Amino acid sequence: MRRINWFAWLWFTLGALYFVLPLWGTLIFSLQKRRGVLSLDAYSAALGDPRFVETFVFSNFMAICTILASLLLIVPTAYWVHLHLPRWRPVVEFVSLLPFVIPAIVLVFGFIKLYSKPIVLLGIPLFPSLTTSNLSTNLLLIAGYTVLSLPYMYRAVDNGLRAMDVGTLTEAAQSLGAGWWTILWRVILPNLRTALLSGALLTFAIVVGELTIATFLARPAFGPYLALLGNHRAYEPAALAIVSFLLTWVAMGLIDRVTRGTRDVVAGSH
Amino acid sequence: MPFLQLANVRKLYPNAAAAAVENFSLDVEAGEFVSLLGPSGCGKTTTLRMIAGFETLTAGQIVMDGKAIEEMRPNQRNIGMVFQSYALFPNMTVADNIGFGLSVGGSAKAAIQQRVREMLALIKLEELGARYPYQLSGGQQQRVALARALAIRPKLLLLDEPLSALDAKIRVALRNDIRAIQRKLGITTLYVTHDQEEALSLSDRVVVMNHGLIEQVGNPFEIYNFPRTTYVAQFVGTLNLLDAVVVEPTAGSVQIQGQPAHTTSLAGCSQGEQIRLALRPELLALKSTGQADENRLAGVVETIAFLGAVVRIQVRVGEALLALDEFNNPQLAVPAVGSPVFVYFARSSCLKLL
């Protein structure tokens, strides 16, 4: 019989407690809105608030737009770097990590300073102020979110590209008559499916809870709503925190399911 | 006019000291099977990739079917290519892989299905159309890659070391299949390999390359029996190299390790000149007596290696070590190591190398 490693179990238990206890506390607290009994009052109040629905839908929409924007930006870039500029890979990797170093507050102030007045280059107006209309500010918000998601999305795509023989697959497709877009769409993207899904779900998680950029651009996003609620209410933020956790776990479960389904295909290709 | 013409092709990579391919000129006739043979780094794959369009030319011209193609993009050349690593699309079934080129070209669905069926029959994998590449063996994957390259009815087929990743038995079987399919379709084919046996057994002509240059072009018989340079002679098959001194050029007499011998290839040599002669192991024989016009060298048996069908015996002649092959048979009298022997060979079998 194998000996039980008590030391390993001790650390595992400590780690689990560190993670579970606050969550357990939050859950119990969120159920105590009605004095003396456990109830779902905080949940019905939080989820029934029209501002919750409004901000949640807005942030989800922004997240989808961000995922599309970062896919459009990152997949062709990473593919091209892999194929033709392998020496530039460390540089691109460094750039992709910058959002970890530069705080969101710096980014958003940079945005506001640069884009709140019309951009004029050598006397030629390039584009008007981007902070004056909701649509253009939303575009700025998506741009900001795209920057924040860069480290996760780039890494996911880069890992996916490393796992396949990009050069030879591209050449094989070219010799069969395919052009760049056909290759990207029919050969590269389908084989990046797992990587793209992981990147997309991480981006989704970041965008839906993001506070700083949305606050300073004054957009009705879910992050600022949660912060506002936290300032004025006690139980509802706890309820929403639990809901957010559940959503994240569902997302992680999805990643795991999809990854498990395709791992054999990718591994078997080499 | 040849179907494929490479004229003075040169490839110099940026920051490289020497050209990867230098002054490469070759004419390939329609339907011909030509192999580019050489060690890694000799420029054979670079040449193939320039024809496919994956590398640009530094200088020279490539003409296919009367058209200069060196400026055309790879996807406009209509050249099928098979890669060492198969390069099947992992997300597509076998049938979709084979049909990919046709669907990119805008063929109708029914036509694609028909062609895929033909190709699957050609490679004898009719049952496996719905499988994914990872569900196939290496040999099957390479068959599919061949079918995929042929499905688009290419003008030219390029194969870049297609058998290198496979084990020995499958390699031989697939080699024969490739040749049979090539003959059946009559498609002009260029085949890159570092395996001389593969090149000699498959090709109508072999191009031996070294350091980016062509060393010799010829049919397998010429390449093996009449190598022009030491390099070709050594690269293709096993070879004994013997230093000799010319005694009488007109009579063809030389001295090998102090022993008299004759050769028929002394044209242009002067008396006293140091030359190098090449002898194939299978052209040497251990005998007690020989014919009058045969060369005879005395030596001592140094090693005996049993290679199955062949027994390879190494005989020390002065400072030189001669390898010779005897066909194995149960009655073969193999001499003992250390025993003195006579090695016989025909005068015409020693070649003077450049």
Q: Which residue of B has its CA nearest to A176?
A: B101
Best residue in B50, B85, B89, B131 to probe A by mutation, most A CBs within 10 Å? B89
Residues of B in Cβ contact (< 8 Å) with A264: 134
Range A21-28 average pLDDT: 93
Cα separation, A105 vs B300, in Å, equals: 88
pLDDT in tens, chain B (354 residues): 899 999 999 999 998 889 999 999 999 999 999 999 999 999 999 999 999 999 999 999 999 999 999 999 999 999 999 999 999 999 999 999 999 999 999 999 999 999 999 999 999 999 999 999 999 999 999 999 999 999 999 999 999 999 998 988 899 999 999 999 999 999 999 999 999 999 999 999 999 999 999 999 999 999 998 888 888 988 888 888 888 999 988 888 899 988 999 888 777 888 888 888 888 888 898 887 777 788 999 999 999 998 888 899 999 998 889 999 888 888 888 888 999 999 999 888 888 776
SS3 B37: strand
Other CB atoms within 10 A of residue B338 CB: 9
Asked if A268's CB is within 8 angstroms of B101's CB, the reply is no
SS3 A5: coil
Residues B246 and B271 sit within 8 Å (Cβ to Cβ): yes
pTM for this model (two decimals)? 0.80
**Quick one: A42-267 is in which CATH superfamily?**
MetI-like (1.10.3720.10)
| Domain residue limits, chain A | 42-267
Close Cβ partners of B85 (under 8 Å, ≥ 6 residues apart): A165, A168, B165
Cα separation, B268 vs B166, in Å, equals: 47
Write the secondary structure of B95-106 as one string of H (helix), E (strand) and C (coil): HHHHHHHHHHCC
Asked if B133's CB is within 8 angstroms of A173's CB, the reply is no
Asked if B83's CB is within 8 angstroms of A178's CB, the reply is no
> What pLDDT, in 10s, does the model give residues A119-157?
778 778 777 888 888 888 999 999 999 999 999 999 999
Q: How far is A167 from chain B (nearest CA, A)?
A: 9
Measured in degrees and rounded to the nearest 5, phi and psi for residue A209 equal: -100, 5
Whether A47 contacts chain B with CB within 8 A: no
Q: How far is B166 from chain A (nearest CA, A)?
A: 13
Pick from A168, A176, A182: CB nearest B85: A168
Helix (H) or strand (E) holding B27: strand B21-28
Cα separation, B84 vs B161, in Å, equals: 5
Q: How many residues does chain A have?
A: 270
User: Which of A93, A68, A70, A103 has the alpha carbon at shortest distance from A210?
Assistant: A103
Whether A268 contacts chain B with CB within 8 A: yes
Asked if B89's CB is within 8 angstroms of A172's CB, the reply is yes
